[in-house]
């Protein structure tokens, strides 16, 4: 079987090749369990803001605050998916083994960026307009 037949069979509704399936499975197995701590850390940031500045947030309308939290959590999780855009190409590269050992660094940098964005958003966009 030559390369042309392989491409044609995959392009005609055939199942993805084993390497593609393996890389996608590895990416999902790595990133999805880490989504939980990511969400917990961001929830802790929001909770800390509300608890530490409670008198300021007391007059916030509950429905509006709940909608804002829902939209913000959804956007944070969409941003989390950006890790796949870095991870999957790196797994196809010659540096696949090194990448798998060091991709926790991408998670850590992404987590720190998310915390910084959450703090900025609350301090600059939410806090001044509540109360």
* Residue 77, phi then psi, degrees to nearest 5: -75, -30
Q: Over 80: is that where the pLDDT of 130 sits?
A: no
Q: Over 60: is that where the pLDDT of 9 sits?
A: no
**pLDDT, position 10:** 43
Tokens coding 92 = 């196809």
For 43-93, how does the pLDDT look when each residue is reduced to its tens digit (9 = 90+)? 999 989 888 888 877 777 778 888 888 999 999 999 999 999 999 999 999
Which residues neighbour 97 within 8 Å (Cβ) at sequence distance 6 or greater?
none
How far is CA 92 from each of CA 10, 48, 49, 85, rounded to the nearest angstrom? 18, 40, 41, 12
Which residues neighbour 76 within 8 Å (Cβ) at sequence distance 6 or greater?
38, 39, 42, 114, 118
**Structural domain boundaries of the chain?**
22-129
Distance CA 84, CA 80 (A): 8
């Amino acid at each position: 079987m030559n390369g042309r037949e392989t491409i044609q069979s995959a392009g005609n509704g055939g199942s993805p090749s084993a390497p593609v399936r393996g890389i996608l499975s590895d990416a999902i197995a790595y990133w999805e369990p880490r989504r939980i701590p990511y969400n917990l850390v961001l929830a802790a940031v929001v909770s800390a803001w509300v608890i530490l500045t409670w008198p300021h947030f007391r007059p916030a309308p509950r429905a509006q605050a709940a909608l804002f939290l829902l939209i913000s959590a959804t956007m944070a999780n969409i941003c989390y998916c950006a890790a796949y855009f870095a991870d999957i190409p790196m797994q196809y590269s010659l540096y696949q083994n090194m990448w798998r050992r060091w991709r926790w660094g991408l998670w850590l940098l992404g987590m720190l960026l998310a915390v910084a964005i959450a703090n900025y958003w609350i301090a600059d966009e939410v806090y001044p307009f509540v109360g």
